[in-house]
Every structure is written in C-alpha cells, then in structure tokens.
Chain A
C-alpha cells in the first residue's frame, strides 16, 4: 500500500510540478514566444519534424508529432525565421517579436524537375543538432521507391535495411532491433499499441503505406515518453486527410490492391481519410476449387485473405483546440467449410485513438489521448456434432496526457502520464458436443494495470553542448502483485563543428507484458502473458555512443554508433513445454538473460539525382537461460546461445536514381551472415511398439548450433510516371532476387531409401530456398 502511495506521489509530482512551473512562467518577461502549426500547403496535413530556425540567434525548434512548434525569442527584435523540411520548399518569414505571436506556416512540396535536383534545404542539420541518437526516420516516398518482394511497399521491410535492424528470416516483416526479440518492440499506430504488426505469418506488415504520414524507429536512447518494451519504438503516424480537396490514391499489385480516399469535411477545418487494402488469394483459389469440383480426388484449397482498414477524422475546433479520431481494423482469415467440417481461423488487431490537442498557452502544448487496442486470434472448428474453439487475446484501455513546455530557448520540457488497463485471455479453449457428453473448458483470464509517468528536459547548454535528461516511473499490477520501475534516460550531444557531432545515450526500459513464443518466428498463436508473482518484468539497459558528420557540402550524412545492451528476466518455454490444455502456463517458463553489442555504420545521400544509403552492422547477440529456480531445467544446459536472428555482418545498399522526370530506378543489395539454426548432430532409432515402423530420431545437442549459409540478394525496380488527365500514376516493374540466389530458408536431413527394398541407403542434408527470382508489375495512382 505504501509503495502504491509512493508511486502515485511520484506520478503526481512528475506531472504537476512542471505544470505549475509553466503557469508561473506566464509573468511578463523580456522574451516572447513564437508558436504555431506547420502544414502541407496542398493537403493541409500537419508536418512532423519540420526545422524551425532563427539563423541570427542560432536557435531553433522542430515541429512535434502534431505539427506544432514553440520558440522563445528575445522581445522587440525583428527576426527572420526559416522553416525547412525535406521535400518542401524552404520558407523564410520575418516576425517582429513585440508580443507572443502565432505563426502558422504552409510549406509547398518541392517540384523536382530533373534540372532542379539540388534540394534547397540541408536535410541533415537536425540529425546533427539533436541529442537524440539511434533513430531512423522514413519518408513514404522512400518506402514506395524501394523494390520489395511482390512489389508490396512495406515500411517495415525498408526499416530492415537500416543498420541494427534485422528481419529474422527471408521475406519476414519482423523487427529484431539491436539483438532484441520481435516482441520487444513498442509498435504504435497513431499512439495505439499494435500487438501483432504483421499479416501472413510475418510476411507483410499491417501498415498500408498510402495511409501513413510519418515513421520513426528508435533503436536506443529512448525518449522518456516511451516505455513498456525493451528494444525499440516504432512510432507510425497516419495521415489526417486532405483539408483542401477530395483526393485519392491507390495501387494494384501482385498480392493486394489498396485504395485511399480523403476529403475536407469543412475546408481547412476538418477532414477525413479512409484507406483499405485487401489480398486476392481467396478469389483465385475459389476459382481453382470451382474448376475442380467434379474431381473426386481433388482436395479444395482453403480460403485465405487479409485486409486492413484505416480511418481518421480530424477537426480544428478553434486556434487552440483540435480533435482527432482514428481507427485501424485488420484481420487475417483462413477458412475451410464443407458439409461436415467448418474451420475458421482468424487473427488481427483493432485500435481506436481519440486525441485532443490543446494549446494551453504559446509555450505549453497538451495532448490527451484515449486509446483502445485489441489483438486476438481465434480458431472455430465445427466437426460433425462437435465444436472446438480456441483463442487468446489482449485488450487495452489506455489514457494518456502529454505536455510539451518551452519555458525559454534553453529548455524544452516534456512530461506526462499514462495508464493502461489490460485484459488478457490466455489459451481460452472450449470443446463441446451437441449431446452434452463433451463439455470442456480451460484457459486463463488476467487483468493488469500499467502506469507510467515521465519528465524529460532537452537542455541547450551552449552551442556545442546539448542534452536530454529524462526519468520515467513505471508500475504494473496483476493478481495483487505490483512491480515498480525507475527508468532513467540520458543523451548528450557535443557539436565539434558545423559538420560534426558526437553523441552518447543511456536508457533503461521495463517490459511488463510478454509475448511468449517457442518458435523462431512470430506466429499469430503466440501468447501475450502478463507479469505476475512468478513472471518478473523484463528489463534492459543500453548504452550507445556515436558520431555524425555531414560530407561534401551537406550532400552526404555519415553516422556511426556502437552499443551494448543487456537484458534481464528474459522468458522462454522449457523443453517440451505443454502449451495447450494448460491452466498454469507460467509453470512452463524458464527465465534467463540476454546481451548484445555491435557497431553500426551508415552513409546516406539525400541530395541529387541519386539518393540512398549504405549501412553496415557488426553485432553479437546472446541468450542464456540457466535459472532453474522454478524447478524447470535450464535451456541448452544453461549455456549461452545465439538466437536465430543473431547476425555477425549485415550490409545493405539502397540506391534510388531519377533518370528523367518520368523514369526512375531503385536498387537494393543486402548481405548478411546466415541465421543461427538448430541442426541435429546425431540420431538414433526408435522402433516403438508392434504395428509401428521404426523412425529415425534426430538429436539436437545444442540450440542454434549451426549457421545457415551467408545470405545475399539484389533487387531492382524501374518506375515510369504516368500523367493521365485525372491525376498521376506510376507503373513499377521490380525484380526481387535479380540474380536468383538460392538463399537458405532452412536446412533439413533426409533419409534416402532404396525404392525397391525400402532399406535406408544413407542420410543427406538438404537446403530449402523460399524465394527465387520474382518479377512483379504494380500500378500506383493518385488523383
């Protein structure tokens, strides 16, 4: 009780003290505040990350996630303020600071003709200037230009091309960041937590690129406003909808088609966006089934499809108040139905976010959000007179308050509070028959409360020194057991010159909700499980140091970082764990630790006809499950092992080139050390009871004891821009794996038998490749 009270006291102080401080600052001062929103001139979309600079004072700010900025400037001066953002024309505006001023700016997208390929803004200044390190940002333009498998633009697959980010396995949209697991990523879609960000067993991410406005991935040095996951934060922001005119865009690809419509509800005041995507597998397989329905030996192909639906409405109530309501609904559906057997398996996420932006005063910005998030899978199986249903899920109700306060030009303070009420359904199973002779139910339900309060100050000490110091206090309660966490965050920047910065960062993270998986990849049936008396929260600490430098008059950006991360209370299943019909799943867990370290090098070019980047990562990742205190045997005999996604060397080269105004091309090359993989070293014969044939039993002495062959692949794309009267379009021809490299997806051992005698002749190893060369056409359009 005392601990709970203490936590609430901390929470109250963290939120209230800066607020009081802010109010106190309202007294007259020799400085005034310039604030406002920065928007796209054509669509009215708020622009995130726009640099707002006052060159004469060498001071500036960046627009936040809602497009808002606030700058404290000396009173009485007439100042020139510059607004610049990659892909937009720079705007310079003179303001006379005789009082607090509101200045909303509209930036016009840069019309890049082939003769005018030099971007007028310096795209890398903010990256040099900010203390924040270990962060990757993507533009949707990049996402759509880079060739990917089946021509399906996928922001997660583009992020996998950045240093420190691994895919797990070929074609997968999993994110393995700096040695962390796929479940250790905080994935936010318009602030709503997404528990399963992929479709089709991880081959496609749920993010429809037409609906996405901004993508930021934090690999370390996490801002204090984020918590609850160990290894990364993927912050995806959706478009708000065109406030100027009705417009749309979409695409037709090999796997799916998509359509996005957006329009003003009241010009410049309110707008909506609706965006959908659906696959075609089932339409094709149904036709195949229909063509074979008279064939008695034909086994029909089950239906499979997935879809996503994004919607958003936003209203500017007045100059100080804005409301947003956004939602996401996506499902994968797999079904098979006939007279005697009906099988339906579906899984997916649903999220809703209601946000209220309020400008309390020019220096204090508030965002209040109410968020609903749900992920579940369910299998409904009706066979003869029996029904069999199984499912698991997690549902969150989340409220959060975030404040941004700019008391003066030296400080930028963020603080806030977040409370999430979790509901867990773990392996709910029901098995029943019509005659009532079978009526069985099992599974567990949990409820949990997760809280986090934070404060962070971005302090501009001098022209050379700048730091961000933050503290997050977190707590989690389930079944009467409470855990508390103090999570310090710190980053420091030292600017050696106009072109060079050195940075260092530290972050401690706690994760109270765990995705327990015993496979090498994320499956929809993996279970989210809360911390409780047996399962302690996972914890990670990461230190990172780096250097950033612009080269060739700002045309290139070079960044290098080293990191070390260590993780406590890692969870895995014990060998031979019982996952179904188990009402006490935590008896199947084994606890351990993990650690990883690495060196990342990154060179990027954003100016000119040719843009792109080269990334290299040298890294090591380890796991060790030696704790047998709960009676379960250690994993791998307690010895440390490499997880599957450990990759020693990882190289990616991404190039985009504009030949003419209409023709452009993309090129990727990736190289990676082969995944760690478990192979048996020995075998024995199990002859079993009479009536059974003997089987060869593989013996796996150690986990992930083998390396698959090195992986490499090149992809190319060629895009032709169409100029129809009704809008614009592009036709893309891409080739995945252009030199048809047979990369290993997995390796297995085969028993080769004499076809006549059925006697075993010998054993051999076979490598299976998943994707050969795959050419694809896709069409995108916009009006």
Chain B
C-alpha cells in the first residue's frame, strides 16, 4: 500500500521536482555496534553462518568480519562448535566465516539452539526448528492476450501458485520465484506472508504479467517461523524507509536475542516450470524436483 502511495505521489507531484537533490553533510551520533548473524540450516548441508556487526553508516564499506567469537549450535544434547573459517560458496556466491564439517540432520526433529559470544562480551542466542514442508499443489500461468488478438512477442504471462493451508494454525511463508537465465538464477519475486487468506483450505498467490514465453522458473515455498517472518519484513521496511518520506518508523524486529540476525531451519518445496504460450492446458503436472 505504501509503495502504491509513494508511486502515486511521485507521479503527480514529484515529477516537476526532478533533480532537486543534493549531497549534504550529516553529522551522525556514534553508533552502538551490535553483532549480526545469518545462519540457515538445511538438511544434509554443513553448519555454517556469517557473523558480522553493524557499523556507523558512513564507515568503510568493507564487510566487518568478527574473528574472535565462540559459536555453538546445540541439537538434541549434541553441541557442534563452528570454527572461524572464512569461505566463499562459489555455487551460490554467499560467504560464511564460521563453519563446521558436521552436517545438519533434520530427521530427528527437535529444537536447534545457537549461542554466540565474542571477546567484547556481546552475546547472541536463538532457537529454531524444522517446520513441516508445505507442498506447492499447482502452478498455472496465463498470457495477457488470451481471448484477444495475439501480441506474439510482447505478451507476458502471470503465474498462479497454490498450496494447502490449515486455517487453524498460524503459518508463515516465504515465496520466491527465480528465473533461470543463462545458467544464472535471477530473483524475480520474493515476499513473506501469513497463511490467513485461504479458501477451502487452499491458498492462492498470483503475480503480475511479467514472465515471457519459454521462461524457466523456479518456485520455492518456504514454511518459516514467526521470527524469520518478522525479521524479513521489517528489514524490507527499513530498507524502504531510507528514501521514502511517507514510510513508517522502521525498527527491525530481530530474529535472534542480543543482536540482529536470523537463525532459521529451512523447510521448503521447490518446483520448476517452463512457461509456454503454446501449452494446450497451460498447466504442468508438477513433479517434485531434487532438493537443493
């Protein structure tokens, strides 16, 4: 809604005011630096995380590395110590600085507890658990020139994604759509939502007309907990607030105690579809693909 209002505002009023920007000096008060952690657990993958800290806004853009922390993840009485091992995952382009060779095993269920402390006395704690995977039950698409004169190359398609939803439970989800382009995954859509607006136990999500004929799309549905949901959406709000005069105050709701960050066990369903205009049914029977 606020994006819409901002867009309307810009369209009506701000256009004549283009180029009315200038660089200014801002004297910011000292920032109280806090630890920032990002740790995602995936079945069969090693325990690893990125531990940084928040810095003064105008300080150097280098990533603030924390190399003196003690990081332990405990699951079912077993503690896994993550050592300081900076590394780059060349497949995903993501970096980590604390890792263990132990692999995450989600089969036993239960709660995972993260504890981080550094030599400055800062301490982060968090808990997470693997939630049941919620399968995507249907993906359909429709081109904008359906029933009308064919636009051929310019027509775009929308996507409808459906999954089951139990209205008795308070569920949170993250939906991502990635486009496979020249061996590279391009993020098309990424949003979080609550499972509130189900009809007859089914929840439908739609996109705008934005996909082209023969686009290969990966659709991922993450079943997430409230902490991850709040962290993700408030980060979105905070990023939006920088440059939006109508934005509400944007304090981040952290997913961990004692700092900023997220500690999340990832349960997700993933489907790959090729959007085809010549598809007779415009639907594709969904075959589960391998988990990443």
Contacts and interface: CB of A to CB of B under 8 A. Distances in A.
A58 interface: no
Given A304-B8, A519-B246, A698 B20 contact: no
B53 A304 contact: no
Interface string B234-265: 11011101110111111111000000100000
B289 interface: no
Interface stretch (B33-41, B70-78, B110-118): B33-41
B55 A683 contact: yes
Contact of A682 (B40, B55, B158): B55
A699 B54 contact: yes
Contacts of A28: none
Contacts of A742: 20, 22
Interface stretch (B88-96, B100-108, B122-130, B273-281): B88-96
A691 B187 contact: yes
A744 B55 CA distance: 26
Contact of A684 (B8, B30, B53, B93): B53
A302 interface: yes
Contacts of B190: 692
Interface in A417-474: 431, 433, 436-440, 442
A520 interface: yes
Interface string B47-58: 000101111111
B251 A767 contact: no
Nearest to A692: B187
Given A681-B56, A763-B58, A521 B246 contact: yes
Interface string B1-42: 110110011011110010011111110111111001010100
A699 B252 contact: yes
Given A201-B9, A523-B5, A703-B249, A437 B55 contact: no
A96 interface: no
Contacts of A696: 239
A700 interface: yes
Contacts of B247: 519
Contact of A769 (B20, B25, B200, B252): B20
Interface stretch (A40-48, A140-148, A233-241, A745-753): A745-753
A326 B185 CA distance: 62
Contacts of A442: 196-197
Given A679-B26, A692-B190, A302 B242 contact: no
B150 interface: no
B57 A683 contact: yes
B55 A700 contact: no
Contact of B235 (A573, A690, A697): A697
A304 B234 contact: no
Contacts of A764: 23, 58
Contact of B185 (A433, A685, A691, A766): A691
Interface string A559-578: 00000000000000101111
Given A339-B144, A437-B204, A691-B185, A682 B31 contact: yes
Interface in A708-747: 709, 742, 744-747
A436 B91 CA distance: 43
B198 interface: yes
Nearest to B222: A689
A440 B196 CA distance: 9
Given A765-B23, A768-B21, A683 B54 contact: yes
B169 interface: no
B57 A749 contact: yes
B21 A682 contact: no
- Of B1, B17, B248, most buried by chain A (CB within 10 Å of CB) is B248
A682 B249 contact: no
B282 interface: no
A728 B246 CA distance: 43
Given A438-B199, A681-B31, A742-B22, A519 B248 contact: yes
Give chain A's interface residue range (CB within 8 Å of chain B). 35 or more
B8 A334 contact: yes
Contacts of B283: none
Contacts of B94: 687, 690
A763 B186 CA distance: 26
A580 interface: yes
Contact of B22 (A301, A345, A767): A767
Per DSSP, chain A at the interface is loop
A576 B253 contact: yes
A609 to B, nearest CB: 36
Interface in A366-401: 383-384, 386
A518 interface: yes
A749 B237 CA distance: 15
A440 B197 contact: yes
A112 interface: no
B67 interface: no
A769 B249 CA distance: 21
A755 interface: no
B52 A685 contact: yes
Given A304-B12, A749-B57, A763-B61, A700 B185 contact: no
A635 B250 CA distance: 11
Contacts of B26: 679, 706, 747, 765
Given A169-B245, A763-B57, A763-B61, A386 B206 contact: yes
Interface string B186-213: 1100100010111110101010110000
Contacts of B252: 576, 697, 699
B61 A698 contact: no
Given A576-B237, A580-B1, A766 B24 contact: yes
Contacts of A681: 28-31, 56-57
Nearest to A703: B249
Contact of A705 (B29, B185, B260): B29
Interface string A518-537: 11110101000000000000
B63 A685 contact: yes
A771 interface: yes
A676 to B, nearest CB: 11
A772 B20 CA distance: 8
A356 interface: no
A695 interface: yes
B56 A767 contact: no
Nearest to B154: A296
Contacts of A296: 154
B233 interface: yes
A120 B235 CA distance: 66
Given A440-B199, A684-B52, A340 B209 contact: yes
B176 interface: yes
A760 interface: yes
Contact of B21 (A301, A433, A690, A769): A769
Contact of B24 (A281, A576, A579, A747): A747
A487 to B, nearest CB: 32
A280 interface: no
A687 B246 contact: no
A581 interface: yes
**Which 7 A/B pairs are nearest by Cβ-Cβ distance?**
A690-B92, A682-B31, A518-B248, A748-B243, A746-B245, A769-B20, A575-B251
23 contacts: A200-B12, A304-B11, A433-B204, A437-B199, A575-B249, A581-B194, A678-B249, A681-B29, A681-B56, A682-B31, A684-B54, A684-B260, A689-B40, A689-B266, A697-B252, A698-B57, A699-B238, A700-B241, A748-B242, A762-B61, A764-B58, A766-B23, A770-B14
Interface of B: 1-2, 4-5, 8-9, 11-14, 17, 20-26, 28-33, 36, 38, 40, 50, 52-58, 61, 63, 89, 91-95, 142, 144, 148, 154, 158, 162, 176, 178, 185-187, 190, 194, 196-200, 202, 204, 206, 208-209, 230, 233-235, 237-239, 241-243, 245-253, 260, 266, 292
Given A520-B245, A680-B242, A771-B17, 17 more contacts: A296-B154, A304-B12, A339-B144, A437-B200, A437-B202, A438-B197, A442-B197, A581-B194, A680-B238, A681-B29, A682-B55, A685-B52, A690-B94, A709-B24, A762-B61, A768-B20, A772-B20
